[in-house]
Amino acid sequence: MLAVILIVAFGGAIISYLVGRKSSELRNILTQGIWIAIVGLISYAHFIMPVSSVYYPDFLGFDLALRIDSFSWLFAITIAGLGTLAIIFSLSYIKGRERENFYYLLLLLVSGGMMGIVLSGDLVSLYIFWEIMSWSTFLLISYSRGKALAAGLRYIIMSVIGSGAMLVAMLSLYANYGTLHFSELPSSLATASPTYLIFIFLLFLTGFGIKNAILPFHTWLPPAHSEAPAPFSALLSGVLIKMGTYGLIVVFYFFAGAKLFLSLSNGIWSFHYILCALGAVTIVIPTFIAILQNDAKRLLAWSTVGQAGYIILGLTFGTGLAFVGGLFHFLNHALFKALLFLAIGAVEYRTSTRDLNSLGGLIKRMPVVFVATVIGIGGLIGVPLTNGFFSKWLMYKTLILEGNPFLAFAAFIGTWGAILYSYKLIHNVFLGQLPEKYKQVKKAPLSMQFPLVILSTAILVFGIFPGIAINQINNISTALGFSPLDVSLWGVVSDTGMVNTLNILVAFLIVIAIVWYIFRSGAESTRVSQADSYTAGAPVPQGKYNYTVDFYNPLERMMRPYLRDRIDDLYSGIAEFVKQLSNKTRKVFTGYVGTYVAYILTLLAVIIMIQLGWNIW
């Protein structure tokens, strides 16, 4: 069953590549069919899980296996859903661009790789799929060449470092315990010394943390997200970086177990608390940087770094509420960030720019995209009745009641900063004046609107009925040893307070209805053009009154000096140093045979001298 899913995913990728060389229409139908089938298969797996199957028995003394349980199912269904939507979105986005076939092959390989990661039952399979995912990601990021190539290179260098760290951890585990199977590692690690555990944790933290873009491993993410093709940016931000989150949960909570992980400390600093602090820093700094961005996708990319901080904070804080909140936020972030990237992709597709300083006023031209973006931003900020509210509420509550107001403060600042950058995004793209050159912009094509509609519906459904998702996540956290929550369809009840979306929904509906009625009964209003009331009908030079450039100018002037990415500077410095060192080393190779002969003779002479002088050999 599980092997079938992966065979469909990978086999489908290759078959559609071959088919695509003959007919692109057939390939488009095939790719969509494959991923809709995978969504179906994963949904079916919900009813038969937990299930595991061995696909390669006795590899180095343990079985290579696939497995699915409620935890990996949550990730699998998110990957399948977003993957399908990204493929549908690609239909018109990638049409007519070069190397279409190659693009689809890689997109399917990445999605398949991610699916493989979450279905893996041992570290070896996980590592294999991890590499498939990483390398196809590299090729996809650099799909547009030019700047994208540099972004991709930056990504793959960090990714390789991360894989190296993972490999070391795996070898160490294998050398010590002789197994890398998920079900056998917990019992082995239960007796491990704390020092060894921290060693293993740090290695995995490097490996998975780079993917998850935790500070200070975040520098690859902003260029990669902004340069990749839009549907892939959505996947990248929505699920791909969460593979890091997945890995961390597996290592911390499945291998070591909640009890061991949370008790790991040297008396003053506990390990999980340091991770929380890291999460808090990851929330705050990128939020401020995001406010300064003028490239729509770069802004969203920095926001992704910040939101990933919430997930890390929630997952490592170590209470049931925080864990549920963190995991729910993973799902929510996948939905709203994918939506926002796709929406910006649709805008970019029609206007061929994503520069926030030159767009504006597209609300009348792309109404569906506008409404979807508003809903996505609602989720990002966490406006009540959208999904982001509930996950953040759970985290805030536990952070405050467990006596960690400073972590809560970081989380709040992240939200209030999000208001600034997300309003900038929506204002500079959709509101304000429409520049002359975009007067003729057409609506987004249907294949782009469809994923947006689906995602915004999902955001509202999870916002109004959080119980649907929380129930599932609650099972996971209970299985990991956290105390269960009392979940209803509308929210969570606990002894320290509850939240109920039903109240909020009904209150809003009734009040809006009353206000709307009063509004209707007032005197009529006439529709006037945008220049009409502002200049009282006098002719004005068009395009001169567009206040989108430097939207937060006063704030930016204050903050910019403090917000240089020092970590990025450090990495670039190291890269530059290595480059110069290599350049110097290269000078040794002159290309003349004579020089090489001279090197050999010198070396021989030195050896003979050493031998004569000290008589070593």
User: Restricting to residues 336-365, which ones interact with another protein according to CB under 8 A?
Assistant: 361, 363-364
- Look at residues 473, 496, 484, 487 and name the one whose alpha carbon lies nearest to residue 320: 484
Of 146, 539, 554, 613, which lies in the binding site for another protein, with binding defined by CB under 8 A?
Answer: 554
> Minimum CB separation from another protein for residue 446, in Å?
21
Polymer length of the chain = 617
Binding mask 524-543 for another protein (x = CB under 8 A): xxxxx-x-xxx---------
Binding flag, residue 199, another protein (CB under 8 A): no
Q: Which of residues 40-99 bind another protein (CB under 8 A)?
A: none
In the complex, minimum distance from the CB of residue 124 to another protein, in angstroms, rounded to a whole number: 44
Angstrom CA distances, 177 to 63, 167, 255, stand at 14, 15, 13
Residue in 546, 563, 565, 568 binding another protein, rule: CB under 8 A: 546
Nearer to another protein, 98 or 532 (CB): 532
Residue nearer to another protein on the CB measure, 125 or 415: 415
Q: Does 496 bind another protein (CB under 8 A)?
A: yes
Q: Does 426 contact another protein by CB under 8 A?
A: yes
Distance of CA 400 to the CA centre of its chain: 27
- Near another protein by CB under 8 A: residue from 328, 430, 465, 571: 430
Site for another protein in 217-276 (CB under 8 A): none
Interface with another protein (CB under 8 A), residue from 153, 198, 260, 383: 383
- Choice from 57, 96, 403, 541 touching another protein (CB under 8 A): 403
Q: Would you count residue 292 as binding another protein (CB under 8 A)?
A: no
Among 50, 405, 481, 543, binds another protein (CB under 8 A): 405
Residue closer to another protein by CB (options 376, 382) is 382
Give the nearest distance from C-beta 431 to another protein in angstroms: 3
Cis amide linkage into residue 57, ω under 30° from 0? no
What DSSP string runs through 436-461? GGGTTPPPPPHHHHHHHHHHHHHHHH
Rounded Cα distance between 9 and 35, Å, is: 8
Which of helix, strand or coil describes residue 366? coil
| Site residues (CB under 8 A) for another protein, limited to 498-527 | 498-500, 503-504, 507-508, 511-512, 515-516, 519, 521-527
CB-CB contact of 66 with 3 (8 Å): yes
Asked whether position 289 contacts another protein by CB under 8 A, the answer is no
Q: Could you tell me which stretch among 23-31, 206-214, 479-487, 495-503 binds another protein (CB under 8 A)?
A: 495-503
Q: Is 29 in the site for another protein (CB under 8 A)?
A: no
Angle at 127 (CA atoms; ends 306, 181), nearest 5 degrees: 110
Q: Output the CA–CA distances (angstroms, integers) from residue 543 to 361, 432, 489, 549, in the order listed.
A: 11, 11, 49, 12
Residues with Cβ < 8 Å from 65, sequence gap 6 or more? 52, 53, 54, 55, 120, 121, 122, 125, 181, 182
d(CA 282, CA 280): 5
**Using rule CB under 8 A, residue 436 touches another protein:** no
Gyration radius of the chain's alpha carbons: 27
Residue 561 sits in the site that holds another protein (CB under 8 A): no
**Which residue type occupies 330?**
F
